[in-house]
Amino acid sequence: MSFPRVLFLTLIAKPLARILTGADVVGREHLPAKGPAIVVANHKSHVDTFLLLAIFPARTLRYVRPAAAADYFLKGRLMSWFSRNVIGIVPVERDKVGRDHDVLGPTRAALAEGAIIVVFPEGTRGAASDQMGRLKSGVARLAADIPEAPVVPVWIAGAGRVLPKGSGVPVPLNCSVNIGPALKWSGDRHAFMDEIRAALEKLSAEAPPLRWS
């Protein structure tokens, strides 16, 4: 992990995430300590990424890399540098889906190198409500290709209120992060996606009530 990334995540991102969200974290013991591993979470806000980076211990952060849309996070030289070198994204070229292009290639390569990949299978940020959208099957393809990688489900509640889609100014409000036991590749993509969705729905139902509602 580069020195700028160490400084940003430990001295800025972690404290800022705590100030903005006051996040209640449940099930922290289920977080992977090393890769290859996949963290799969619901997605309502850009705050989600910083929240997930903030809950990992400093010694593990060097492995953690969010899979993120290249068309958004690689816009412009400064944004591209920050996204790659500070946030540590693995770029996903979603505009090339359906073409003769391995969209998941960089993510698969990062897993093979021992990364902990953060994946938002809804594909994009949803509405501010905590209702989950349709899940895309890319995470099942990754699990099939690297079956030794555990898939850890995470439910984030409240981030859509802190920084809703389309908003540029965050509002300090309480969030919660509920982490479930790891899932193992089952051998069937459709069944595995159903298993992931069921795990996320269970975590949503068990999430602690939000303070400052």
DSSP 8: I
Rounded to whole angstroms, the Cα distance separating 124 from 17 reads 21
Encode pLDDT of 4-25 as tens digits.
777 788 888 888 888 888 888 9
Could you tell me if 144 and 111 are in contact, meaning their C-beta atoms sit under 8 angstroms apart?
A: no
Query: Distance of alpha carbon 103 from its chain centroid, rounded?
Result: 17
Query: Distance of alpha carbon 125 from its chain centroid, rounded?
Result: 11
Encode pLDDT of 111-150 as tens digits.
999 999 999 998 765 554 567 888 998 999 999 999 999 9
Query: Distance of alpha carbon 124 from its chain centroid, rounded?
Result: 11
Per-residue pLDDT, 172: 67
Split at pLDDT 50, 70, 90, the class of 88 is: confident
Per-residue pLDDT, 98: 57
DSSP 181: P
Split at pLDDT 50, 70, 90, the class of 96 is: low
DSSP 185: -
Per-residue pLDDT, 126: 55
User: Which of helix, strand or coil describes residue 64?
Assistant: strand
Split at pLDDT 50, 70, 90, the class of 100 is: low
Q: What is the mean pLDDT of residues 66-70?
A: 88
The CA angle 42-47-95, to the nearest 5 degrees, is: 65
Split at pLDDT 50, 70, 90, the class of 61 is: confident
Full-model pTM:
0.88
Rounded to whole angstroms, the Cα distance separating 62 from 60 reads 6
Map out the domains of the chain as residue ranges.
Answer: 3-206
The CATH code belonging to domain 3-206 is 3.40.1130.10
Could you tell me if 63 and 114 are in contact, meaning their C-beta atoms sit under 8 angstroms apart?
A: yes
Per-residue pLDDT, 213: 47
The most confident of 46-50, 156-160, 188-192, by mean pLDDT: 188-192
- Averaged pLDDT of the chain: 85
H-run or E-run covering 142: helix 138-145
